[in-house]
Structure 1
Amino acid sequence: MAVVIELPPLVDHHCHGIVRGDLGIASFEAYLTESDAPAASGTTYFDTQTGFAVRRWCPPLLGLEPHCPLARYLARRRELGAYETARLLLRGSGIGTYVVDTGLPGDLTTPAELAAAGGGAEREIVRLERLAEDVAETCDSAEALVEAVAEAVHAASDTAAGFKSITAYRHGLGLAPEPPPPGEVRRAAGTWLAARRDGGTRLTDPVLLRHLLWTAVATGLPLQLHTGFGDPDLRLHHADPALLTDFARATAGTGADLVLLHCYPYHRQAAYLANVFPHVYADVGLALTHVGARAGAVFAEFLELAPFGKLLFSTDAYGLPELYVTGAEAFRGAVREVLGGWVADGAWAAADARRVAGMVAADNARRLYRLP
């Protein structure tokens, strides 16, 4: 007998804004992949697990049949307009709270705009590297930069739900785990400011990246860390969360929690870290969206080692409201397949399955980010 596992309104603990305007087929397709290049000649990113998931789950929310032809779906999207499309899709996703990383560039909706369209609540995640780069625009000395960054992080902590770092992109996760000495930080700040005057902008210095991480840890708020796959700016083997083992050990007892984002294909390593370090959490988002119909298998692998109170749902949706829908549906399908299957096999009690589903869907994020 099939087991019904109802989920509460989801807390999407890591997501991004969506584009405000209408999209053509090429610009729409670009958001279905982590690649920064067009699909190879004779192929399309619509022929992916993500593309198929969009055509399965999104058309019914716009009044069309599942798996309808792509041209018909995009025509309906244009007919409704960007805002009404976003409103229908977001409100049909089952997401009630959006915890939004505001560090991406572009004309994207703010957290408040996203939540208004979705009929939900919102909180902000502040991206450390973007914050430091913005602050650097106003500084003319290393001392001023170090002081201004500290003040900016402290000010952000008054309203933000947490912080995020993309150290995995900028250097890799194999950083020295301890806080850098103040003298090293000032020297690195001076070198970076000089490089900026010569046209450089991105923060890639490992000393400054470590300093940012420890500055965020000092606030006591959760610190999200990109791990696992991403766009080609990343070197995948430098994004293995196991590289954070010493940092996790060094931050134990500080009062700040570490949240390992995405994780795939290293999700078993992330689950291990969540198992052995009480302040480490793991995120099932992005991975489930991109593996599509295989979401149940990946979700089950997360559950092999990770304590159930340490796993968090997210979509990592960016640009398209469709990605909120597909991320949420991939998660719901994985819950039905995996937890429902374990109940049917007698391995789990139905009450436990429902309780764990609610924890991962919303309760863990509400506790971690101190959400109402």
Structure 2
Amino acid sequence: MLVDQHCHGVLADDLDEAEFGALITESDSPPVAGSSPVDSALGLAVRRWCPPVFGLPALAGPAAYLAARRAAGGAGATRRLLAAAGLAHLLVDTGLTGAAGRPLLPPVELAALAGAEVHTVVRLEHVAGGVTAEPHAWPEAVDEALATACAGAVAVKSVLAYRAGLAVPPGPPSRAEVVRAAGDTGAGGPGTDRLTHPVLLRHLLWTAVGLGLPIQLHTGFGDPDLRLAEADPALLVDFVRAVEPSGVPLVLLHGYPYHRQAAWLAQAFPHVYADVGLTLSYTGPRAAAVLGEVLELAPFGKVLFSTDAYGLPELFLVGAAQFRHALGRLLASWQADGACGAADARRIGELLSSGNARRLYGI
């Protein structure tokens, strides 16, 4: 059984073709005429792994698949797909609460449908966005809010890459700097719809370091809100060095197309880990090759599986199936080449599938 070290909630609803397609792409725009999100590497992976859950052959067409999905009902389809993923633990980022204009299943309902144990990952920016204290009191207020939100959590997450990019100065800002930034409501400060002020975001990161929980950081590709060049994990190297004395683990999520940079950081620094979630789903038939590129440098004890599933329950099954298939193909090729033995392959598989996550998060 797998430990999914980073995921989100899902919709347990009946979905039409447009809604379904919108949830298997990082684009937030409708497709151009003659194009469909299903005609993609991820779309192929969905068609490969999900139709058999509903008694259809692999690679069944989208229309037949959606008809079978609707026949099972939203909740029934969700239960089947989550069960087929074979996940023992889910680490759920609770910072996203809706998709396609509908609320996501809360963690307790997700756990019941998946037959898995759910653990909370607190999104720093989501918590801080709800703090409306006066500027002079904001640093302490946000620190208190984060400490309260993280009670019982296994990790925190930052979407700094989306808000200000990953090229952050290495040290924490002074209290005076934070107070000044908290009063700057015209530049992504408190009271705005979206916290983007780089000083406040740095304060959140260093508050998280003080909490001592593993910090998950979005890196690499995402939706169009992202400037991809600013999401290269190599930009974090000064921050990584500054955090190292604390021993607080930093988990670099996703990574692609910078997964080799993430792998290098995981090799070079003892407290850095590389995640392969989202990447293996979206790269479809190339997943084994991309996983091999991560393992070129990253120590086997520093690589983590996740699905990064969001919205569609299919993405839990696709993420798990892509990982198992890619890892199986890769390790079989290594054994055939004499690069490792069967015992080595079993150990590597166990580490990536669950062992590393259990050790890191204490589950």
TM-score (norm 2): 0.96
Secondary structure (helix, strand or coil) at the match of 2:119 reads strand
What is the CA-CA distance between 1:195 and the residue it aligns to?
6.6
User: CA offsets, 1:73-105, max 9 Å, x none?
Assistant: 111111111111010000001111110001113
Q: How far apart, in 2, do the equivalents of 1:212 and 1:63 lie? A: 48
Q: Does 1:173 align with 2:169?
A: no
Tell me which residue corresponds to 1:116: 112
Query: Which of 121, 125, 130 is the aligned partner of 1:129?
Result: 125
Identity value in percent: 57
What is the CA-CA distance between 1:154 and the residue it aligns to?
1.3
What is the CA-CA distance between 1:261 and the residue it aligns to?
0.3
Tell me which residue corresponds to 2:176: 183
* Partner amino acid, structure 2, of 1:184: E
Q: How far apart, in 2, do the equivalents of 1:345 and 1:21 lie? A: 46
* Partner amino acid, structure 2, of 1:353: A
- Structure 2's unaligned 5+ residue stretches are none
Q: How far apart, in 2, do the equivalents of 1:23 and 1:232 lie? A: 23
Query: Which of 348, 353, 359 is the aligned partner of 2:345?
Result: 353
* Partner amino acid, structure 1, of 2:10: I
* Partner amino acid, structure 2, of 1:355: R
What is the CA-CA distance between 1:155 and the residue it aligns to?
1.7
Tell me which residue corresponds to 1:4: none
User: CA offsets, 1:181-240, max 9 Å, x none?
Assistant: 11001111111389779x732100000000000000101100000000000000000000
What is the CA-CA distance between 1:345 and the residue it aligns to?
1.4
User: CA offsets, 1:144-184, max 9 Å, x none?
Assistant: 32222111111223211110000000010011110001100
Q: Is the 8 A contact 1:98 1:111 kept in 2?
A: no
Tell me which residue corresponds to 2:28: 36
- Structure 1's unaligned 5+ residue stretches are 1-8
Q: Does 1:58 align with 2:50?
A: yes
Secondary structure (helix, strand or coil) at the match of 2:203 reads helix
Tell me which residue corresponds to 1:3: none
Q: How far apart, in 2, do the equivalents of 1:253 and 1:105 lie? A: 35
| Larger mean Cα displacement after TM superposition, 94-103 or 142-151 | 142-151
Q: Does 1:344 align with 2:336?
A: yes
* Partner amino acid, structure 2, of 1:349: G
What is the CA-CA distance between 1:21 and the residue it aligns to?
2.1
* Partner amino acid, structure 2, of 1:167: L
Tell me which residue corresponds to 1:100: 92
Secondary structure (helix, strand or coil) at the match of 2:34 reads coil
Aligned residues: 359
Q: Is the 8 A contact 2:189 2:196 kept in 1?
A: no
Tell me which residue corresponds to 2:228: 236
CA RMSD of aligned residues (A): 1.3
Q: Is the 8 A contact 2:187 2:197 kept in 1?
A: no
Q: Does 1:154 align with 2:147?
A: yes
Q: Is the 8 A contact 2:161 2:218 kept in 1?
A: yes
Q: How far apart, in 2, do the equivalents of 1:302 and 1:257 lie? A: 19
What is the CA-CA distance between 1:291 and the residue it aligns to?
0.3
Q: Does 1:81 align with 2:81?
A: no
